[in-house]
Structure 1
């Protein structure tokens, strides 16, 4: 199949289902035994930045969904324990904090997603995916 991404791979990234090419910053992992395939982006998650909790819900990633809810709930409860002089100050602090949290989740979610998949028995499907995951720090290397 022709590579629609034009990154000069000459079809070397045809690791999707039925040989479909994947973008250069996406990795494919497969679960040994049942052959379940997951394809995910490596790097900043714009969808998590914009839609926060909806991303793990749509991916069926309940573990990371509960982690995100727990952290956000802890921060919100901590914020409510602080006495602010006015409601406007509280609203401003809340808005800034929500933006910062969205930015942090955008950076961390894909890493959390892949690490959870690895804990569930998934392995990189190809050498290209393994190299990409290792280079980005998503896949821990074993020291000899």
Structure 2
């Protein structure tokens, strides 16, 4: 199969790695695997536009129930604080700003939350390219071998 990402941060050495069934991965996607179960997950590293635009649906599509409950809990707490401390006549004007702030928050940190939860479940980077990408993004800290 022809690599659609040729010339996009690729150096003819297949630096983008191979996904399932040999399909090429975009340069900002990492693959993690659970060595005990063989379960494989592929996700983007960096800002999550889907979470920014459609929160909390990406958590549902990824079956990421832990982060869904965390996100719903934080959003409920923020909405309660907003309703308690912002007077009623100013609430309508400030609602858009608060929603934009919440969307930016989830867009900025959701992919990191997803990977960190996977690492807590026993997942590890599947290949060197994914390990390097996750390390550079500060999602993965290599375990020191003493």
Q: Same fold (TM over 0.5)?
A: yes
Structure 1 unaligned spans of 5+: none
Q: TM-score with structure 2 length normalisation?
A: 0.91
Q: TM-score with structure 1 length normalisation?
A: 0.92
Which residue does 1:102 correspond to in 2? 103
Q: 1:51 aligns with which of 54, 73, 89?
A: 54
Give aligned pairs, total. 142
User: Is the partner of 1:28 in helix, strand or coil?
Assistant: strand
Structure 2 unaligned spans of 5+: none
For 1:15 and 1:41, locate their aligned partners in 2 and report how far apart those are by CA, in whole Å. 14
For 1:28 and 1:67, locate their aligned partners in 2 and report how far apart those are by CA, in whole Å. 24
Deviates more, 1:99-108 or 1:9-18: 9-18
For 1:66 and 1:41, locate their aligned partners in 2 and report how far apart those are by CA, in whole Å. 21
- Give the Å deviation of 1:133: 0.1
User: Is the partner of 2:5 in helix, strand or coil?
Assistant: coil
Q: 1:36 aligns with which of 22, 39, 63?
A: 39
Deviates more, 1:28-37 or 1:44-53: 28-37
RMSD: 1.5
Q: 1:23 aligns with which of 23, 26, 29?
A: 26
Alignment of 1:46-85 (within 5 A): 46-84=49-87
For 1:142 and 1:58, locate their aligned partners in 2 and report how far apart those are by CA, in whole Å. 30
